[in-house]
Structure 1
């Protein structure tokens, strides 16, 4: 079952781009966060989305909002992707898709492509907004629009 607005984010762990174990409790419950699930490193839409979050990262930092990207790519892929595009935020490797399943992120195109969903979470760990679209930049725009309100 997919997480929706008003739900609490469940706790999870995953490896970050440096190979360190990330525990969601180090962020969730401490500050607001944007968690976005994307299909694959270094593809056109995913790169546009990551670079969009990068280019607007100072806006999110000023509001004390963490940005976390999650895909099923491995640690090495995330490390290379993060370095190539100078991404200042956390990328998590979900190779077994356990975190994706925990959130209930759907697959697209007859289950062949992992879905793209972004969650805006408040400081208490409650989902304030869920946005789903295969267009990567729409996610960045939606989060920025929500911040301005």
Structure 2
């Protein structure tokens, strides 16, 4: 049972790229969020997706939004991934798959590959868009369009 449009994202705490506790409560109520779940650091599709979010990060920031990437990779893996591709946004380690389960992100390919789902929330933490597609392309433009609509 996953989250749907109109639901509030759950409160959660996870380790960020620096090994610090990230608390969702620190951002909910302050800014729109783009939370994207992806399968694995340093794989072709995930690298493309992360680099595209990186290249358009200023567009999200200009609209007042924060981008957060989530995968089951370790903090050390996220640190390497962030340094190698100069990722300016938060990556969260979900090694116990707690966040994936909390959001209801499905697996694909017979449950072997963690799903790729992007959630966009308004400032209050209410989900306004969900894009569930294993192809890395499309997530960034759809998220940016949803954030732009909030500004209208």
Confirm or deny a common fold (TM above 0.5): yes
Which position in structure 2 is the counterpart of 1:74? 74
- Rounded to whole Å, the distance in 2 between the matches of 1:140 and 1:108 is 20
Moved over 4 A (4+): none
* Gaps in structure 1 of 5+ consecutive residues: none
Correspondence for 1:138: 138
Partner of 1:52: 52
Contact 2:32–2:123 (Cα < 8 Å) also in 1: yes
What is the CA-CA distance between 1:147 and the residue it aligns to? 3.7
CA shift for structure 1 position 85: 0.3
Question: Which whole-Å CA distance do the structure 1 matches of 2:52 and 2:147 have between them?
Answer: 15
Measure the CA separation in 2 of the matches of 1:145 and 1:30: 19
1:106-126 residue CA offsets vs partner (Å, 9 max, x unmatched): 000110000000000000110
Larger mean CA deviation between 138-147 and 85-94 belongs to: 138-147
Q: Between Structure 1 and Structure 2, how many residues are aligned?
A: 149
3-state SS of 1:96 partner: coil
User: In 1, Cα distance between the equivalents of 2:101 and 2:94?
Assistant: 10
Residue 148 of structure 1 deviates from its aligned partner by: 4.2
Structure 2 residue aligned with 1:110: 110
Alignment of 1:1-149 (within 5 A): 1-149=1-149
| 1:55 Cα deviation from its structure 2 partner | 0.2
Cα displacement string for residues 49-101 of structure 1 (whole angstroms, at most 9, x for unaligned residues): 00010000010000110000000000000000000000000000000000100
CA-atom RMSD in angstroms: 0.9
For structure 2, list consecutive stretches of 5 or more residues without a partner in the other structure: none
- Whole-angstrom CA distance in 2 between matches of 1:66 and 1:12: 16
**Secondary structure at 1:5 match in 2:** coil
Separation (CA, whole Å) in 1 of partners of 2:138 and 2:80:
24
**TM-score for both structures, normalised by structure 1:** 0.97
2:140 counterpart SS class: helix
TM-score normalised by the chain length of structure 2: 0.95
